[in-house]
Structure 1
């Protein structure tokens, strides 16, 4: 994700949003995002969580304490609705289910990723990542640790490689089965193929004008542009266009016009249509900037080196550089789809140039 302005806000670890909705700041260890906002929704069938946070002892303790501050024991939780499969959202789902017997719901596109992730040997993941980065022009020194890990058959150390299997599928456009509440799933692919926002179709408790409230996951955030990279999956070679998915999903959410957005990071905010316009403009500016960079043939790695990030390239750690290259590739793929860039014939590793 690219931070656009300001440090993350402070405030209490638990916030009441009215109308039977709370948020709990669950920490993400060693991550500049700081925390995931796990939302608690009161229903006639018992409390339901929207996302769960990172699988870490301190995160688990914070979640349990936060639920207690809301008058809820983790054993009382009846369901978990996951906006997307990333480990800072889905990481603690298995522990919540083990403690409470709660069901877990997820969009099928992300559930398919979870199933493939669980069944894929760790060395296959390492090898896949090394091959992808090599094809993108990454230097040998960057790829070497992944090749060593693949050759050594190292244990599954990457976060999110053993995510909980969901029990229920989230169907886009339909209300979730939550007694006493009207929570509708809005499919918003881009950040992941199965990302969903959740529209609470109820009057705002403070009377704010607009169309209910939106639990936006990572799709719509007040001061961050979510990471839009290629959908990484060693067992699926479908050629996708995540940036196109994201831009289309943004416009869908903008038309919804919620009174308030309850995202998974930073803070609750209003003015969703204006924020959508900002993000659309941001990506158009980024695409324009990439076309200027592609006046000469560049590999995705060299392109990522020249792109603007929230810190200088030299200060970006290796793992984050891999994520940045994936984002560069997603933007280039979108430009190729639009007919504004193309792969240079015969280049290896592949280079792209504006047309």
Structure 2
């Protein structure tokens, strides 16, 4: 396989410009990027610069459902008569966009309330969650782990979203937002469907480390997979220890109360990300054997320390 051709399809975000990738000899585009005319022109120019005519794109592989990755997929697929591929858990969020978004907004609000987020903050999240300019329905092929597209293998890589996938072609691994070069991918608030997303994410990182070739992230371009996975694990281990420490100070706390303690004032989407990160760590700790944390209430969730040491659990979770 020839080297993948990277396209910076937008002008940047806190994580860095979205990275679309073209595999010209396979007719594949991975994560074409966010919706918008300027971004589509960047994508078109990048595809053509790779040596592939836009009409010769046959497959569009999407690592997860977030709009900055899937936004141009319907337009590209329509222009090229290409097939869109996603993991089955994320596929409905594009395939049935209008109804799936409606369900997601309701679910987000319900989950936030269950984490103890005040109603006025939940209402801010609703107000700022504007719909993306996507078709109500889009044809998508839904896949399982291990399915093959254009000779490359789809790997289920949950954590950031429930249906996140990586795409492995020869010695190239496209990881979407499972591993990023600068930011630690959000776990918990970026997809409110998962019951216990942090252990899922840690298993994803272990699985991705089996790959010894080049790694291509969904934002930016420079990435040493082993180094970044080590940094991300260390970040989450430190965060989990901090959650347990602050829980001891509070006695009992909701995920939201700990999020405010850890992150300070949060507005808009950061409410979801902060509360979700706190909830993900609390649930992971509470589910562990010999847990230092127990869930002591619901509606909203409340947690307290059990009196057991956190160190052995942290070593086990983040080995």
Do these two structures clear the TM 0.5 threshold for a shared fold by scoring above it? yes
**Structure 1 residue matching 2:90: 3-state secondary structure:** helix
- What's the counterpart of residue 169 of structure 1? 142
- What's the counterpart of residue 158 of structure 1? 131
**Residues 126 and 146 in structure 1, CA contact (< 8 A), matched pair in contact too:** no
- What's the counterpart of residue 201 of structure 2? 246
- What's the counterpart of residue 23 of structure 2? 41
CA 1:300–1:93 in structure 2 vs 1: closer, same or farther (change >3 Å)? Answer: same
- What's the counterpart of residue 352 of structure 1? 303
Q: Over residues 233-287 of structure 1, what are the superposed CA-to-partner deviations in whole Å (9 max), with x where a residue is unaligned?
A: 5xxxxx621111110111111123x2321111121333x2333222222211111
CA deviation after TM superposition for structure 1 residue 35, in Å: 1.8
- Distance in 1 between the 2:120 and 2:40 partners? 36
**Structure 2 residue matching 1:27: 3-state secondary structure:** coil
CA 1:260–1:161 in structure 2 vs 1: closer, same or farther (change >3 Å)? Answer: same
CA 1:259–1:286 in structure 2 vs 1: closer, same or farther (change >3 Å)? Answer: same
- Distance in 1 between the 2:105 and 2:213 partners? 44
**Residues 125 and 269 in structure 2, CA contact (< 8 A), matched pair in contact too:** no
- Distance in 2 between the 1:42 and 1:107 partners? 23
- What's the counterpart of residue 236 of structure 1? none
Within a 5 Å distance, the mapping from 1:81-92 to structure 2 comes to 81-92=61-72
- What's the counterpart of residue 270 of structure 2? 320
Within a 5 Å distance, the mapping from 1:190-339 to structure 2 comes to 190-201=159-170, 212-229=171-188, 231-233=191-193, 240-256=195-211, 258-270=212-224, 272-295=225-248, 296-308=251-263, 313-314=264-265, 316-338=266-288, 339=291
**Structure 2 residue matching 1:250: 3-state secondary structure:** helix
- Distance in 2 between the 1:85 and 1:184 partners? 19
**1:21 partnered with 2:4:** yes
Q: Over residues 90-136 of structure 1, what are the superposed CA-to-partner deviations in whole Å (9 max), with x where a residue is unaligned?
A: 111110011111000111121144456532473x5544433332332
- Distance in 1 between the 2:74 and 2:96 partners? 17
CA 1:95–1:255 in structure 2 vs 1: closer, same or farther (change >3 Å)? Answer: same
- Distance in 2 between the 1:251 and 1:136 partners? 28
Of 291-300 and 277-286, the range deviating more from structure 2 = 277-286
- Distance in 1 between the 2:299 and 2:226 partners? 43
CA deviation after TM superposition for structure 1 residue 327, in Å: 1.8
**1:143 partnered with 2:122:** yes
**Structure 2 residue matching 1:199: 3-state secondary structure:** strand
**Structure 1 residue matching 2:208: 3-state secondary structure:** helix
* Aligned residue pairs, count: 301
**Residues 28 and 53 in structure 1, CA contact (< 8 A), matched pair in contact too:** no
**Structure 2 residue matching 1:64: 3-state secondary structure:** helix
CA deviation after TM superposition for structure 1 residue 39, in Å: 0.2
TM-score, length of structure 1 as denominator length? 0.76
**Residues 47 and 54 in structure 2, CA contact (< 8 A), matched pair in contact too:** yes
Structure 2 unaligned regions, length at least 5? 307-319
RMSD: 2.7
CA deviation after TM superposition for structure 1 residue 304, in Å: 1.0
- Distance in 2 between the 1:121 and 1:88 partners? 15
CA 1:34–1:58 in structure 2 vs 1: closer, same or farther (change >3 Å)? Answer: farther
Aligned with residue 342 of structure 1, among 280, 286, 294: 294
CA deviation after TM superposition for structure 1 residue 290, in Å: 0.6
- Distance in 2 between the 1:241 and 1:288 partners? 17
Structure 1 unaligned regions, length at least 5? 1-17, 202-211, 234-238
- Distance in 1 between the 2:113 and 2:304 partners? 19
**1:56 partnered with 2:40:** no
CA deviation after TM superposition for structure 1 residue 37, in Å: 0.4
Q: Over residues 39-71 of structure 1, what are the superposed CA-to-partner deviations in whole Å (9 max), with x where a residue is unaligned?
A: 000225xx2101110112222122122223323
TM-score, length of structure 2 as denominator length? 0.83
Aligned with residue 85 of structure 2, among 95, 105, 112: 105
CA deviation after TM superposition for structure 1 residue 199, in Å: 1.7
